Structure 1
Amino acid sequence: MVAAVVSLTLAGGAVAGAGPIGAPVLRAPVGGYQELVVPSGMGPIEVQVQWAARGGRSALYVLDGLRAPRDHSQWTSDTDVLRQFAGDNVTLVFPVGGHSSFYADWYRPSSTNGQVTPYKWETFLTGELPAFLARYGVSRTNNAIVGASMGGGAALTLAAHHRDQFKFAGSFSGFVNPTFPLWNEAVRAAMWDEGRFNVDDMWGPAGDPAWYRNDPTAQAELLRGLPMYVSAGNGLPGAPDVPYGFGNTVNAMTLESMAAAAAGIFRDRVASLGIPARVDIVSGTHTWPYWGQAIATARPMILDALGAH
């Protein structure tokens, strides 16, 4: 039997413990989370979990951005999402890692940075992780999935191809149309800059079927009937940008302008197909405070879709 390594993180420190899968779930207090180490084909994956407030079975998977750290989810450090959902009857699931992965199953390991094991994040998020969480009473079929930046497009893609698992999907400043002309080169440049990853090892060259499979706009028909929230900023900075400095803000303005364009393309595509989706273009840049605001906006929609009030 595989053991789950669990540590309980509190404001006053950490208490470690371990128990077999299937043991009673430990409940994290308000603002806290547990760290699970989940076996996968990529090796052990850390997952931060805030359990449902009243033992509910539904779950919200929350995906990081391109710079996903190795030791924690930026959602838990850079937003107040734990507090937002602390009283809700839904388990929050924060996979740790996935740096420059687009949370996809790659063709092969990246050939430009010495990666040994290929990313298989779709397999993990839709197979290995839900099977692991099921032993703790979490449903495999009543889940929602959202993400920021890199994780936004991935959230819609995973929901499109796994409708039996996900009942809601949300993208916050996601690049939801990567097959748009030359945007594959923008993805290439971003992944090279962030870890020297080779996009050809992920989805092949431009035009490869994997690009279209991982493009939510191209796969829009598969999203029909799924409650969705897509948001992006207009690229104009505001008070939340001040702590990040001028250089970071300029970069965040540029990235968000691209995300807004992609959101507009997605909005027009689903509208042409008669597929309902809420798409908001709001004030802001490609920065964590705005994504904290976006998930707050999405929260009532998520709870409604999951019946998790």
Structure 2
Amino acid sequence: MNFEIMNTTKRIYLLLTVCLALIGIKGNAATVDTALTHSAAMNKDIKAVVIIPDGYTKSKKFPVLYLLHGFSGNYSDWIKKVPTIGKLADEYQMIIVCPDGAFAGWYYDSPVSNEWKYETYVGTELVSWVDKHYSTINDRAGRAITGLSMGGHGAMYLAIKHQDTFGAAGSMSGVLDIRPFAESFGIAQVLGKYSDKPAIWDQNTDVNLISLLKPNALSITFDCGYDDFTYKVNLAFHDKLLAQKIPHDFTVRAGSHTWEYWGNSINYQALFFSRFFNKQQ
């Protein structure tokens, strides 16, 4: 047996293995930063995760997807629970920003307490901070926002109210009508009790904001698991969009209010937003 040929073959095999490994690393080379931002509205510093795609350069402008967490969560939820979102940033060449919306901030500017100004923070202050510190498409054509549960509510709420800032919106298992959950999830501490302030709740529930939309003004996608406790409010949101002739994508899948569901859902939504961004170019 020719040992020289065998050794050469082994060296070639080792070289190919190393190359393939490097290619694999290169394919998931997104950089994950924890940024310290500031909210003047709440007079405090707030952390956010910023995921920068492989190939990022200041000479190119990148679209940004704002990805919101749910009730009792924080800015680090998405990258901890679904670390593969880094691959989505790479694949679709987008920056992904995961803001902090507090344990139960609901992405509102509270009418009852200055402690909660998360509409201003996420919808205005954070967007300005990201555009200042990264090479972004500084326009609604390059911004999308989505989230899960409380964050699904927040994403739709912020996008509808700030259509000059966001061009596309999504929701995963979103609480798209807060009123059936008046006694849950800390909403009352932000808006006041529903029994005391029903008009405020009516004015700040997503389903009642649909009247602010015009056909094709906002690119919309949302989904929900059939066994999710938010399924009925998602279906009602879909029906009202249909009645108002607002184009949108609505998907019902098997599943419930779980990270397994959201980890799957974000793949479809990232594709939706990538197509939106590409159409704007």
Structure 1 residue runs without a partner (length 5+): 1-28, 110-116, 192-197, 236-255
| Larger CA Rg, structure 1 vs 2 | 2
Q: Is the 8 A contact 2:144 2:273 kept in 1?
A: yes
- Distance across 2 between alignment mates of 1:83 and 1:148: 19
Offset at residue 212 of structure 1 (A):
2.8
Query: What secondary structure sits across from 1:68 in the alignment?
Result: coil
Structure number with the higher helix fraction is 2
- Which residue number corresponds to residue 210 of structure 1? 200
Matches within 5 A, 1:119-158: 119-136=116-133, 137-138=135-136, 139-141=138-140, 142-158=142-158
Offset at residue 217 of structure 1 (A):
1.3
Offset at residue 278 of structure 1 (A):
1.1
TM-score by length of 2: 0.78
CA change 1:289–1:280 in 2 (3 A) is: same
- Which residue number corresponds to residue 212 of structure 2? 222
- Which residue number corresponds to residue 172 of structure 1? 172
Query: What secondary structure sits across from 2:251 in the alignment?
Result: strand
Q: Is the 8 A contact 1:131 1:140 kept in 2?
A: no
**Mean Cα deviation higher: 123-132 or 54-63:** 54-63
- Distance across 2 between alignment mates of 1:213 and 1:145: 21
Query: What secondary structure sits across from 2:274 in the alignment?
Result: helix
RMSD: 2.1
Offset at residue 94 of structure 1 (A):
0.5
- Distance across 2 between alignment mates of 1:125 and 1:291: 21
TM-score by length of 1: 0.72
- Which residue number corresponds to residue 86 of structure 1? 90
| Deviation readout 1:211-264 (Å, 9 max, x if unpaired) | 2332221111323321111111111xxxxxxxxxxxxxxxxxxxx1x3111111
- Distance across 1 between alignment mates of 2:98 and 2:178: 24
Aligned pair partner of 2:271 in 293, 296, 300: 300
Offset at residue 87 of structure 1 (A):
3.1
Residue 47 in structure 1 maps to residue 18 in structure 2 = no
Q: Is the 8 A contact 1:49 1:92 kept in 2?
A: yes
Counterpart of 1:36, as a letter, is A
- Which residue number corresponds to residue 232 of structure 1? 224
Structure 2 residue runs without a partner (length 5+): 1-27
Counting matched residue pairs gives 240
Offset at residue 280 of structure 1 (A):
1.1
- Distance across 1 between alignment mates of 2:176 and 2:52: 30
Query: What secondary structure sits across from 2:92 in the alignment?
Result: coil
